[in-house]
Structure 1
Amino acid sequence: MSAADRFAGRAAIVTGGASGLGKDVARRITAEGSTAALWDLDAAALAAAAAEIGATHTVALDIADPDAVARAAAQSAAALGKVDILVCSAGITGPTTPVTDFPVDGWQRVIDINLNGVFYTCRAVVPHMVANGYGRVVNVASVAGKEGNPNASAYSASKAGVLGLTKSLGKELAQQNVLVSAVTPATFVSPILEQMPQSQIDYMLGKIPMGRLGETHETTAMVCFLVSEECSFSTAATFDTSGGRTTY
């Protein structure tokens, strides 16, 4: 179900836009009238996704590079004419191992992409929204950021950080018509599962009362509400798509 003109006249940036949730969100918001810029590390997948979706602009970059993010924000804003919507979906799982054995470089890479990358992106893009007097930001976190998953300390910590960043930024912008939300999905079917051992997937599935993995379109629907004009009195808030797993 979609609204053909819900995002008519809007312009969006979606990170991690070459696959998974980012690509699905970009597909839906363009189908509902928005122009879009896709950012991703995988240049080949990015080009394919842009052709499939009809994206206006693409940037192949490492989201953990603040200078590259700043350049991308300026380029996308110029290509789109403005920026109304930002969805920060780029992320990795990192190693699956106990804290005492966790490789330092693995920890740093997860934090750099999942948390620092969101900070760099918001820092670079939000000023364009403030200047225009309108914006909607959704940062993709995880139920792991609320509850913590064993053997996934970097991922859990990074996503908890995204929730704190979202709450801070949302409060800072609350009176500027730029609303900032986070979504906390439980495990859902996406390419990111390829980065995990089956034992970790089974553990997370066992925590979901509905007894199944989520579907990408279910979180996409939540994101699309949060980046629409219908979302007008929620900011600095977290929204679950967890099949009943989360309790707060």
Structure 2
Amino acid sequence: MPTHLHRTGCTHLNQLLLGWWVGRQIFDEERIIGAVPRFTVTAPGWMRYPLKIDGQRLWKQWHLRGMNYFKIARSGCHNWSERFNPASKLYQAWLGVYVVRDSENVIRYGFEQGDEPDPERLTLAAIGDQLYWLDKSGHPNPAMIPRGQLTVERTDHQGHAAWFLTGSFDTFSDIHGTPTAYRLYDASYGIPDERTWRHLVEPFHPLVLHGFYIAWRWEEHHCTVCIYGAGVEFDRQDGVHVNTYPLIKDELLRMARGITWREL
């Protein structure tokens, strides 16, 4: 898919085609895990199909293996993803699933000490994901630092006894003015011209990521599952203070609760 499509053509169609194509590919990690998530609920404004990436790319420093599945905002009327529109409630928002499988290096990720989760350990998947994403976006010094303790509560998901974790992190936006290393994804996201957002925010401006995990051990498939959703808080250059998380939390949870699984 040519990289110039992030400037021209039907970005929404590109997103649909890429998501459909990626979904048909079965990765080696997925075969080992033996199941893949199905995103059965899509809120207005979100990509219909998730994208996915081998987790080893994100978590190499912690020797974690598995998969990351994620959705972002689909393209709007301007032919770029609303994820890159600082005036949108879906700016920098995420919905996805980390599946971290047991391997020769790590067993029972996040639950190594027993049935209760280790919140700090579980957040490594999200931290590695954000650092990788910022690096590929061209950020010179990626960072994601927890703000205080995560809250942890019992919950359930599709018959699994699970844990609901919430927390906040200091990090940076991935908005930038040049194509990223994800050139194929650039074509589908629709990266906007810098002139459309530069009056509102600086490239790679700081922000606070607010979000949740729905996490559990899936012993049948020898893996830890973390469904995640996130919004952001930041200050725009026009003096507006923005916090999207309260605006999108309910739709994130609705989509998260709609995630089911297909056995391979």
TM-score in terms of structure 1 length: 0.32
Greater fraction helix:
1
- The structure, 1 or 2, with the larger RCO (C-alpha pairs under 8 Å, 6+ apart) is 2
Higher radius of gyration, 1 or 2: 2
More strand by share: 2
